[in-house]
């Protein structure tokens, strides 16, 4: 009985992945973000979740999330929005973002096979110091609310918050969060068959900047 939550923004120009411009255009950046979100949803599709939620900031959800409950994000900073998501859930809940298109079902498989009475939380660092996933047996927004976000120590602070609360945490692999074009290249290289890599390849080739080099 595990809930999967994907937190995402509507992929519109000027709202997502603005740090990819340049070399990508302001129109291409949200297209790449949409490909990343689609890859994320595809990776999660085979996992045996009993409930699927899209915590969404926007108006038109992606078609790939057609089987998801859409939960509008509350106003506020990221910690407030994440906290509200966990407060809205009951039972084991795992949240992932939309910025790690290299995600595969196998990376999250332990959450569905090894979530025993000896594990209270699952946590995956992002390479920029944040985190790409957080799973809680007993979801509570108080474990996140007030945490400084988008810093190089956000992940460490979040992990400390969990352990200080007495939770037994199992770590998942560190993934690269796509913020810059160098991040995008690094993520696309080992995953050439993804929508993300295909889209990036076409964009860079069209722009004359080279193909995933």
The DSSP code sequence of 79-141 is HHHHHHHHHT--SSEEEE-SS-TT--HHHHHHHHHS--TT--EEEEEETTSSEEEEEESS--G
37 confidence band (pLDDT: 50, 70, 90): very high
pLDDT in tens, 62-90: 999 999 999 999 999 999 999 999 999 99
Q: What does pLDDT average to over the chain?
A: 95
| Element of type H or E holding 161 | helix 154-164
Q: What pTM was computed for the model? A: 0.95
| Element of type H or E holding 78 | helix 78-87
3-class secondary structure, 97: coil
**What residues does each domain of the chain span?**
3-176
Instruction: Report the distance separating Cα 26 and Cα 12, nearest Å.
Output: 9
Q: What is the pLDDT of residue 208?
A: 45
The fold of 3-176 is Spore Coat Polysaccharide Biosynthesis Protein SpsA; Chain A (3.90.550)
């Amino acid at each position: 009985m595990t809930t999967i939550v994907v937190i995402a923004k509507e992929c519109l120009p000027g709202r997502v992945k603005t740090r990819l411009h340049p070399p990508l255009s302001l129109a291409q950046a949200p297209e790449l973000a949409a490909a990343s979100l689609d890859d994320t949803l595809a990776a999660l599709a085979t996992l045996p979740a009993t409930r699927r939620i899209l915590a969404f900031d926007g108006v038109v959800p992606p078609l790939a999330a057609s089987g998801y409950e859409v939960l509008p994000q509350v106003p506020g900073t990221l910690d407030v929005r994440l906290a509200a998501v966990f407060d809205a859930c009951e039972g084991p809940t795992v949240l992932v973002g939309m910025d790690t298109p290299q995600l595969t079902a196998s990376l999250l498989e332990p959450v569905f096979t090894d979530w025993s009475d000896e594990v209270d939380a699952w946590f995956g660092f992002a390479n920029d110091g944040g985190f790409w996933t957080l799973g809680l047996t007993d979801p509570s927004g108080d474990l996140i609310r007030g945490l400084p976000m988008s810093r190089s120590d956000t992940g460490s602070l979040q992990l400390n918050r969990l352990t200080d609360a007495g939770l037994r945490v199992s770590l998942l692999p560190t993934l690269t969060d796509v913020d810059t074009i160098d991040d995008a290249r690094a993520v696309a290289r080992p995953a050439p068959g993804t929508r993300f890599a295909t889209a990036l390849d076409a964009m860079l080739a069209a722009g004359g900047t080279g193909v995933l080099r």
